[in-house]
Amino acid sequence: MSTITRHHSDARLSRAVVHNGVVYLAGTTADNRAASSKGQTEEILGKIDALLKLSGSSKSRLLSAVVYVADMRVKPGMDEAWMAWVDAKNPPARATVETRLGTPDTLVEIMVTAAQ
């Protein structure tokens, strides 16, 4: 049986799960919800970097990403932060979806999968 490793878990979820060399991150949001979509995205990407490192991976090993935005009008700010962060030589498959998020001031949530 393969080992499953969970990081930053509570009764509700694990922030990162590693299985068979694949890292699955939970949807990640910013703590500073007063920030713009770019600012929220920058904070989220920093959290993703830390979780990937903890899980033995990095942004250069991303396989896929799903970006949720509260309104497509905030997508340009999110994209600006994303493009400054993503490994341009190893970009993941990515989708951006408009949806209602957990709180009215949450503008962006990102969920990624990476190879370990």
CATH number reported for the structural domain that contains residue 45 in this entry: 3.30.1330.40
- In order along its 116 residues, the chain shows pLDDT tens digits of 689 999 999 999 999 999 999 999 999 999 999 999 999 999 999 999 999 999 999 999 999 999 999 999 999 999 999 999 999 999 999 999 999 999 999 999 999 999 99
Closest CA to 76 of 93, 57, 96, 92: 96
Question: How many domains are contained in the chain?
Answer: 1
Domain that holds residue 11: 4-115
What's this model's pTM, rounded to 2 decimal places? 0.96
Q: Using CB atoms within 10 A of its CB, is residue 89 exposed (0-12), middle (13-18) or buried (19+)? A: exposed
Strand order in the sheet with 14-19: 4-9, 14-19, 22-25, 108-115, 62-69, 93-98
> Cβ(83)–Cβ(46) under 8 Å?
no
